[in-house]
Structure 1
Amino acid sequence: MKSETLTVQQIFQDRRQYCVPFYQRAYVWTQRNQWSALLEDITEKAQIRLSGTKPTPHFLGAVVLEPQLKNGLMGVDTLHIIDGQQRLTTLQYILASIRLALRATGLSDLEMLVLPCLQNTNEATMRNKEVERFKLWPTFRDQAHFIKSLNVDNVDDLRKVFSDSFTLHGTLRKHFSHPPSLEALWFFSGNFIKWIRSEGHSLQQNAEALIEAVMADLKLVSISLEAEDDAQIIFETLNGRGAELHATDLIRNYIFMRAEHDGINAATLYENNWKPFEDSYWTEKQRRGRINKPRLEWLIHATLQAEKQREVDLSRLYNEYRDYVTKGSPSHRADQQVELLNRYALQYKELIGGLGTTPIACLGRRISAYDVTTIYPLALLISVADISDAEKTTMYNDLVSYVVRRAVCGLTPKNYNNVFMNVVRHLAKTGISSIELRSTLNSLNGEASRWPTDSEFLNACTSARLYPGRLDAQKMRSMLTELEGELRRSVKTEEPVVPNLSNLDIDHLMPQNWYSHWPLENGHTVTNSDATSVNQIVLAGAELTHEQQLVWKRQQAIATLGNLTLLNLSVNRSAQHYAFLKKRDGLITHTSLRLNVPLIAMDKWDEEQILARSELLGNAALRMWAKGD
């Protein structure tokens, strides 16, 4: 490893090209986070030069370079940027901006001071002049806009080349996703033009001071690797402990730096197998609790837990990944690593999307309301197993039953990470089958992990306060939607498949605010304050009068399953607090759900009907979320 301190001019003056490896992340520096501070540093050095004082160097940090073997005399010397691509790319944008500023201020003669640091010469000896003429070649995600930007000869031409980024008045659009190269050139060139035109000195003096500040006063530590140096180890040392890179950046670099050692064509592997992971779907951040990570990190986290059969520390994801792929004999080759991630990615995408008819997509759709991401490693392990879809479906049905029954029975989900990881370990030892899964779930005991029995579940469906109560709106809507499907399967309906019901309201047939239009069975009307008083008496443990018992009985029935249904929003709002017969007339006109059709034939709705419907839906729930022995 060789280290030397170089000015910007020394870095770029030779006939060479700095290449950002294709698998590294795109350019991410911005005006707010880096450019503004760097501009201040440059103009400060330029001002010192104008005062006649020699400024002290300003260090931009280090760049780590890996020289590539040159095949023959043709072409330019190539160096891969192992670390420091953001700095070197920014410097190219700054030099290009100086060139634009010189042209805008009538100082084109000074271009030759910066042009040798922007372009390689003698195109006749280049293998590919369209690429090799640039001093820096970015990753493929940045190449198109990089080329356009550096080919621009005048600031005004930026408006033509990137017309979508500008308003009719020629200003950069706000709240618009601009190419980073355009934003950089627009920011730096605009400020450089102002600097050159500032009063106190001639345009020529200002421009020369600016050029010298960039070319001579900005310095970097250039570290060139030698044959025995491990580029990945150095990359990890520089970046692995910082917050700048995601774990997936380190993992991607690890895979492709190792591909060469495995005798694998890294570019082909990237293009054919890894490139989909660069899509916005996988780079988009997803929040779980207080943690916000790219979706690809969550995939790798779940994959490692499924493969290693243990909890994986998300904060040490890269180390956990490297530990997994290097341990064992033989270790995982680069192509095997990417193949593994692709195999899990296909299942993971269907799991969290919940679309389609595959077993894991159906599982994802059914559990989406319950926010049980701790089940993902187990779900993925089952999905990639060499078993039939029917077997997977049976296993997933048991898992859904386990989650739904516990929610309806008011049991905590806080121990699910341990429960599902223990199941993963058990299945990894015994083999993945519905018999082993069911046996494991049935063996769980204690409030934190047991699978509720039929009698407990039916009792909860019949009498427990579910909404509001044990279930939030998402869970309650999901439960009613699945019950609608079960009811359709029990009759000869014209539409056996349940449509999307997510836009429907959860309705209390007997409304929560029942006091005005729903007298008690003895004909008495009750006020809100009367009902509140009953609640306080119950809390105090005092004895209720007969009428207060009727009020309490009704209050308890309101939130039970038998009193809940799904309705069109407008129908629900129009008849929300009115008497049952008016609500029934609305149902006759507007509903086609099996949840509601039987209500059309009823003349009244009270606690007795609520209980009967609770029992009906409870038995449907037993079929829907069955518990095998």
Structure 2
Amino acid sequence: MKSEIITVQQMFQDRRQYRVPFYQRTYVWNKEDQWERLWSDIQDKASERLAGNQPVPHFLGAVVLEPQPVNSVLDIGKFSIIDGQQRLTTLQYLLAALSMTLSLSEETGILSLVENCRWNSNPETMKNPDIDVFKLWPTFRDRDTYKIAVSIKKINEFSDKFTDIFRKVNKSKKNSSMGLLAVEAILYFYSQIVEWIKREESNSRLILIAITEAILTDIKLVSITLGEEDDAQVIFETLNGHGAQLHATDLIRNYIFMQADRELGSASKLYDSLWLPFEDDFWKEEQTRGRLKRPRLDWFMQTILQVEFREEIDISRLYSGYQRFAKTKSATDQLVMLNTYAAYYKDLILGIGCKPIERFGRRIKVWDASTTHALALLICTSGLSDEEQNRIFDWVVSYLVRRAICGLTSKNYNRVFNQQVKRISSFPVTVDSIYADLSALEGKAARWPRDDEFQKEWTEAVIYEERLKSIKIKSIFIELEMAMRSSRTEESDLLKVEQLDIEHILPTSWFECWALSDGTFVKKDEIDSLNSDSPRLMLILKREKAKNLMGNLTLLNNGVNRSLQNSFFNKKRDAMFRESNLHLNRDLMIKNHWNESEIDARGQMLFSFAKEIWNGPEGTSEKSWFVEAALAEEEKKSNKITASKTLETEYSLINAWVVKNVAFPRNTEFRANHKGQVYRAIVGEGALVLSDGKEFSSPSSAARHITGTEVNGWSFWECKLPGESVWQVMGALRKGGK
């Protein structure tokens, strides 16, 4: 970054052009807020010069410039105005007014200094002379008025050139909204100069010289020119923290159309045909991911860059990432590509059709699954058939839903799905490859639950509200309902979630209306009086858990749901018979009673559909899940369980390497550092296997093989259990830490 204090003459005298980016607002400075103060400062500096004094410079503020690449000897130096376009535009209007007064006074020598700050010389050597002659090139919304206004040489030409605008202004008595600020600014400054000259007509030449010197040399700016490593987005946001927020896509839009201007001469048609769709409210809508809130267009740009680069893209460095991507592409090619991806992305987000990506978008809408978007775009542009795409998308949805049901974290999804995107850069995407990769994931942070884990959590865990909010439960039951309907069912249309509520068959407040399994009713104030080991309390707690199990939940129309509330089962059943045609509720209509056994049976029945809808990997769950499940059971019995006791009891059913009554599961990793070299080993079938293939029954014999001396292997080795990320000294797992 280069920073310097320069005069107006130094800012404009070189053969260069300052271009106002597309993302910046139109010209908005006006007489009351800016022009009058600027003219007052100029008049003060000029008056000091007339009095024979050297004025103290007046600082107008800072301008931040981003150099644009020069690709031809016919290109002039061009700079994108990151900040300060209102100042520079006002100075051009001021210089235009000064030029007209100097022309009337026939001050040709001074006039040439001013004209050199308004126009770039030698248009015959320019690639686009109609544009490149201007020292400043405004945003396209100001462009037509600007070109005419600054080119006028005589004051009476304004009424001829802007007849229609003057007529509209006079009729509406408005000006700022009519695109007339350029004309107003020039006329204002012109009138101030002329009035001063008329007041002191005998001194008019000296006044014009003093005004010219005040403008060109006494007004100064801080010019900040960015280097290649500087991020224009970050700098603009820092300088304009209290103004309108600048998004990365504003800079990207400017980047594209600056390039389009160089390549095509005029970017207006390209803007109308290929960029204007991105100005739609759909793309401007703010979306929150984690703690970040950005317009949907920013997230879209991040997604397509991840697709193109096959790597993770930091949203805070989006602009620089796009520059890297677009370096070898024309502006037209960039826009065509953006529009191609945009069509797929919109299908994904809206999810209202039958194409594979629309179906996928509809299914993941409630699952906060934006981390899958790049993979989804890759799949839908891969050339795979619709059937193959649907199968892959089914695997991904299953991965998300099974993990959610099992209470597993979603924090690692960014890494999981980015790994899939990276893999596709080296290997072609296929149904089998996605299935194999997801199936191979291990550990609590990444695994794809097998049927045994999925079934246990589905039927036994309290999922409603504890693990999943109502909207996600609704989504699950919508898919269950659709799976229960055969192809011959008349009601085959998709259900509308907003018209349905989750209904607890056994109500959440069941005490007065629903007897326990022993036939007795419970009073709310009764629970506090029961002993903790009371059989009656156990029945109550069992009932309380059962009410939020999956087997006790269903869908009902909003009105029916509210009317039933905490009613007796028979009343609920009869209302379902009258009002509900959902297949979810058909088995309930023939029930005579509803209790914990019925809830369990219905949970199992629903699971038979769930495992097919969200079909998962083959086989039984990995060892780490057995450990987690067993540990959970042990924790219920005692809070004093130790790591060694866990290993002794929970791995007994698994083929492990057992040493000193401590069991290390297969694939436990080991490492040791000896004389600066790292040695590694892994648990095979009942033994520790070194990297050279040798197997050992004890850690000390393995350590002795490496060191050649007697070594305590329990302190020599560090180990890391499958699915864990922390290394610990092997001896820490022995009782007492010995």
1:269-308 maps to which residues of 2 (within 5 A)?
A: 269-308=270-309
Aligned counterpart, 2:656: none
Q: 1:581 aligns with which of 570, 574, 581?
A: 570
Number of paired residues? 557
| Deviation of 1:577 (Å) | 1.9
| Deviation of 1:397 (Å) | 0.4
1:591 matched to 2:589: no
CA gap 1:67/1:550 in 2 versus in 1, 3 angstroms: closer
Q: 2:22 aligns with which of 21, 24, 31?
A: 24
| Deviation of 1:41 (Å) | 5.6
Deviations 1:479-527 (A, max 9, x none): 11111111123x7421112232223222212221211222213232223
CA distance in 2, matches of 1:334, 1:17: 22
Report which stretch shifted further, 510-519 or 211-220.
Answer: 211-220
1:513 matched to 2:506: no
- Quick one: which amino acid aligns to residue 520 of structure 1? L
Aligned counterpart, 1:600: 589
CA gap 1:292/1:333 in 2 versus in 1, 3 angstroms: same
Aligned counterpart, 1:548: 537
Deviations 1:301-330 (A, max 9, x none): 11222232222222222333333455xxxx
Q: What TM-score does the superposition give when structure 1 sets the normalisation length?
A: 0.71
Report which stretch shifted further, 577-586 or 616-625.
Answer: 577-586
- Quick one: which amino acid aligns to residue 558 of structure 1? K
Q: CA RMSD in A?
A: 5.4
CA distance in 1, matches of 2:488, 2:46: 90
CA distance in 1, matches of 2:419, 2:525: 50
CA gap 1:63/1:614 in 2 versus in 1, 3 angstroms: closer
Equivalent residues of 1:427, 1:437 under 8 A apart:
no
Aligned counterpart, 1:139: 139
Equivalent residues of 2:306, 2:374 under 8 A apart:
yes
1:443-454 maps to which residues of 2 (within 5 A)?
A: 443-454=440-451
Query: Per the alignment, in what secondary structure is the counterpart of residue 600 of structure 2?
Result: helix
1:347-366 maps to which residues of 2 (within 5 A)?
A: 347-366=344-363
| Deviation of 1:411 (Å) | 1.0
Equivalent residues of 1:20, 1:85 under 8 A apart:
no
Report which stretch shifted further, 284-293 or 244-253.
Answer: 244-253
1:96-495 maps to which residues of 2 (within 5 A)?
A: 138-141=138-141, 153=166, 157=170, 159=172, 219-220=220-221, 237=230, 239-244=232-237, 245-258=246-259, 267=267, 269-326=270-327, 331-489=328-486, 492-495=488-491
- Quick one: which amino acid aligns to residue 468 of structure 1? E
- Quick one: which amino acid aligns to residue 431 of structure 1? P
Larger Rg: 2
Deviations 1:318-363 (A, max 9, x none): 333333455xxxx444444333333322222221222222111111
CA distance in 2, matches of 1:594, 1:480: 11
CA gap 1:159/1:56 in 2 versus in 1, 3 angstroms: farther
- Quick one: which amino acid aligns to residue 27 of structure 1? R
CA gap 1:56/1:138 in 2 versus in 1, 3 angstroms: closer
Deviations 1:344-401 (A, max 9, x none): 2222222122222211111111111110211112111111112111111110000000
The percent of aligned pairs where both chains have the same amino acid is: 34
Q: 2:600 aligns with which of 595, 601, 611?
A: 611
For structure 2, which runs of at least 5 residues remain unmatched after alignment? 106-113, 119-130, 150-157, 193-198, 201-206, 238-245, 619-738
Query: Per the alignment, in what secondary structure is the counterpart of residue 577 of structure 2?
Result: helix
- Quick one: which amino acid aligns to residue 528 of structure 1? K
Equivalent residues of 1:5, 1:219 under 8 A apart:
yes
| Deviation of 1:140 (Å) | 3.4
Equivalent residues of 2:392, 2:431 under 8 A apart:
yes
CA gap 1:513/1:493 in 2 versus in 1, 3 angstroms: same
| Deviation of 1:144 (Å) | 8.7
| Deviation of 1:402 (Å) | 0.6
CA gap 1:96/1:503 in 2 versus in 1, 3 angstroms: farther
CA gap 1:387/1:527 in 2 versus in 1, 3 angstroms: same
Query: Per the alignment, in what secondary structure is the counterpart of residue 583 of structure 2?
Result: coil
CA distance in 2, matches of 1:595, 1:250: 52
CA distance in 1, matches of 2:171, 2:83: 22
Higher relative contact order (CA closer than 8 Å, sequence separation 6+): 1
- Quick one: which amino acid aligns to residue 517 of structure 2? E
Aligned counterpart, 2:522: 526
Deviations 1:417-475 (A, max 9, x none): 11112222233322111011111111111111111112221222222211122111221
CA distance in 1, matches of 2:46, 2:139: 38
1:564 matched to 2:553: yes
